[in-house]
Amino acid sequence: MTAEWLFSHDIEFSSDVLVHYTCSLCKMELYTGVVGMIEQHSAVVSLFDDYNIDIREMMPWEFRSYVPRGDVTVRSKEPLQIEVLMTIDGDEFTVHVGENMKIVDIES
């Protein structure tokens, strides 16, 4: 799979910033928002584990309830810096996503 950021698109989606995945073998395409991309990242899973919440067992719409709509911010495109605000049991966290589509850090 290859992945690329899409900042302007005509796809009906709840996010302005998308990740576009393409399979190099079958050419199947998949689009997801930043929230969907970070959902199974080990740092996010570990953070939820600290609250005794197993997000590996959650449905995607359940996970999105921890990220209020509109709480994805592009801070910079060069270098790319995206922030996702999450709230778990009243505690707020900012997930910083970088150019390589990896979580740079999680700030409380």
Total domains in the chain come to: 1
pLDDT tens-digit map of 57-101: 999 889 989 997 668 899 998 899 999 999 999 999 999 999 888
What is the structure's pLDDT at 70?
66
- Expressed as residue numbers, the domain containing 21 is 2-107
DSSP conformation letters of the chain: -EEEEESS-----S-SSEEEEE-TTT--EEEEEHHHHHTT-HHHHHHHHHTT--GGGS-HHHHHTTS-TT-EEEEEETTEEEEEEEEETTEEEEEEEETTSSEEEEE-
